[in-house]
Amino acid sequence: MRAVGGGLELHSTLNRICETAASLTEARYAAIGVVAEDRDGLVDFVYHGVDAETARRIGRLPDGHRGLLGALIHHPEPVLLADLGTDPRSCGFPPHHPPMSGFLGVPIRVQGEIFGNLYLTEKRGGEPFTADDLGLVRVLATEAGIAIGNARLYEAAERRERWIDGSVAVTTTLLSGQDQDDALQVVAEQARGLSGSAAGFVLLPADEGGLEIVAVASDRSPGVLGVVIPPESEIVAELLAGRAVFVEDAATDRRMLTGLARDYGPTMLLPLQSDGRVLGTLVMPRARGERPFTEAERTLAIAFASQAALALMMAEAQRDRERLAVFEDRDRIARDLHDLVIQRLFATGMTLENAQRRSQVPDVRDGVGRAVAELDVTIQEIRTAIFALREGPAEVPSGLRTRVLREINTAAVPLGFRPSHRFVGPVNVLVGEVIGRNLIAALREALSNAFRHAGASRIDVVVDATATLSQGRRGVRLTVADDGVGIAEGGRRSGLRNLQRRAESLGGHSGYGPGIGPDGAGTTVVWEAPY
């Protein structure tokens, strides 16, 4: 009893129970089958006495859906058999399984509920198990139930604490002013780690309908960033209606319409909703063959998704306030340019025209004429800038060239100057929507870094849609160069890592090098992706 109750980690406790039961009864093999919450099979199978090589050859562990183990799930009573093979409930053993004859099975109850069954086979010396063995194991099973109950309580408390810490980490990241893509990546990574899943995905509503994958935490699903789950999916309709969806096996579920699902088994798909508004979806899939999510895990994951959605709404409100402040500043600058600068330039131009008419010196008259012409060009450029400043997002065409110019014009306000720009090739024709969307995000990140960290006085932006990438591939290359202070040794690289992650998800590359200041001062960021 001291051996069984000597720890609080659940799996270790189950292993100790198996070892202790085998030792007390002189059994060669012992196992505990943990019953699923819905009593439909086993969710875990802990064994003792079978070496790793034999277990590997046997393959899949028992699932409790048939045979004697399945019968004990539905009829949890003690069983004592002299020969396992003669029992009509037995269905035999898989290939490479060691021979077993004598069998003793006892249910384990935790707080009155069936937790699982303890199985013992092959008493040493070939003797059958006795009634004394059965009585001894029943006492042990009672103590095991108490130890398992304590371990489950401890594990549940630890699990809740981890989910709470994860929610705090997500909230802190979302409200810290970081780029939204970075924040959503944190949500995906936290969800994956906390749920013990093989991956974590965050999906947001796509412009064309359905849900688009915008953040991925996975080692086995490269290149899925930007994939859209079509609106025809039954699951998409459920999620957008604010209802959670739990899938037993994603690879075989007919509602999963993408090839991405074939790598996964049990899956939780949870709406990110707050105050009745669905912002997106959080997906946590486990690998095929892994145990399904328990009711406790589902409850904690739903609470995590709700907290993440609330943090997303608060972060969105914070960004809206910042955006409103920028628009107000742009409107003020546009008014000043129109009411003050243009009027003064216009008055100066008229004065110069009068001086030109009165001048009797040809060289002076020609020089004044050129100055007036330059003023006219300057006035037209200022008018163009005013229109750009006053142009709302809904009025902007969707071409990539226009979106690049919008990002440059937006960055000009906090920078205090307008970055120069150059386009090479038919940008709008060659660059697709997914690559264009990621290029805009990369440009925004690069300009933000230049404003917050570089202290630059000059920034050059080049979008080359005819670039030749590695291995002779054609693609688009974005280059953002500044003359600022460069990247400090040991400084933050989160923005650069984000650029690299975006490029790699599209099969491209991102890097940085010397800038365009004197002697290479500043930083040049290069982001590229193949068509």
Is the pLDDT score of 204 beyond 80?
yes
The residue type found at 207 is D
* 10-157 CATH fold: Beta-Lactamase (3.30.450)
Q: Across residues 238-254, what is the average pLDDT?
A: 89
- From the list 479, 318, 332, 330, the residue with the least C-alpha distance to 415 is 330
- Per the prediction, the chain carries an average pLDDT of 83
Overall CATH class of domain 165-311:
alpha beta
Using left for φ > 0, alpha for ψ between -120 and 50, and beta otherwise, residue 53 falls in alpha
- Per the model's pLDDT, the better-predicted residue between 27 and 38 turns out to be 27
Is the pLDDT score of 29 beyond 90?
yes
| Structure confidence by residue, pLDDT tens digits, 68-86 | 888 888 888 899 998 888 8
Instruction: Quote the CA–CA distance of 493 and 487 in Å, as a whole number.
Output: 9
Contact 89, 74 (CB under 8 A): no
Residue 397's pLDDT band (cuts 50, 70, 90)? very low
CATH architecture of 398-531: 2-Layer Sandwich (3.30)
Q: Which range is least confidently modeled, 171-180, 385-394, 483-492? A: 385-394
Residue 391's pLDDT band (cuts 50, 70, 90)? low
- Per the model's pLDDT, the better-predicted residue between 275 and 446 turns out to be 446
- Per the model's pLDDT, the better-predicted residue between 25 and 361 turns out to be 25
Is the pLDDT score of 456 beyond 90?
no
| Structure confidence by residue, pLDDT tens digits, 375-388 | 876 776 677 667 66
Q: Across residues 46-52, what is the average pLDDT?
A: 90
Is the pLDDT score of 110 beyond 60?
yes
Q: Residue 197: helix, strand or coil by DSSP?
A: coil
- State percent of the chain over pLDDT 90: 15
End-to-end CA distance of the chain: 66
- From the list 446, 373, 364, the residue with the least C-alpha distance to 407 is 446
pLDDT of amino acid 7? 64
Question: Where do you find CATH 3.30.450.40 in the chain?
Answer: 10-157, 165-311
Instruction: Quote the CA–CA distance of 515 and 98 in Å, as a whole number.
Output: 69
Q: Which range is least confidently modeled, 41-45, 84-88, 260-264, 388-392? A: 388-392
Q: Across residues 449-471, what is the average pLDDT?
A: 85
Burial 433-463 (b: 16+ CB within 10 A, else e): ebbbbbbbbbbbbbbebbbebbebebbbbbb
- From the list 481, 422, 421, 420, the residue with the least C-alpha distance to 449 is 481
Is the pLDDT score of 474 beyond 70?
yes
Is the pLDDT score of 233 beyond 50?
yes
The residue type found at 39 is R
Question: Where do you find CATH 3.30.565.10 in the chain?
Answer: 398-531
Q: Which range is least confidently modeled, 232-241, 281-290, 407-416? A: 407-416
Helices H / strands E in the chain, number of each: 13, 16
Residue the block writes with tokens 């309580």? 153
Sheet of 42-48, strand order: 42-48, 27-35, 113-123, 103-110, 79-81
Q: Across residues 171-179, what is the average pLDDT?
A: 69
Q: Across residues 88-110, what is the average pLDDT?
A: 87
* Main-chain phi, psi angles of 524, to 5 degrees: -115, 120
Is the pLDDT score of 396 beyond 50?
no
pLDDT of amino acid 384? 62
Q: Which range is least confidently modeled, 84-93, 323-332, 441-450, 477-486? A: 323-332
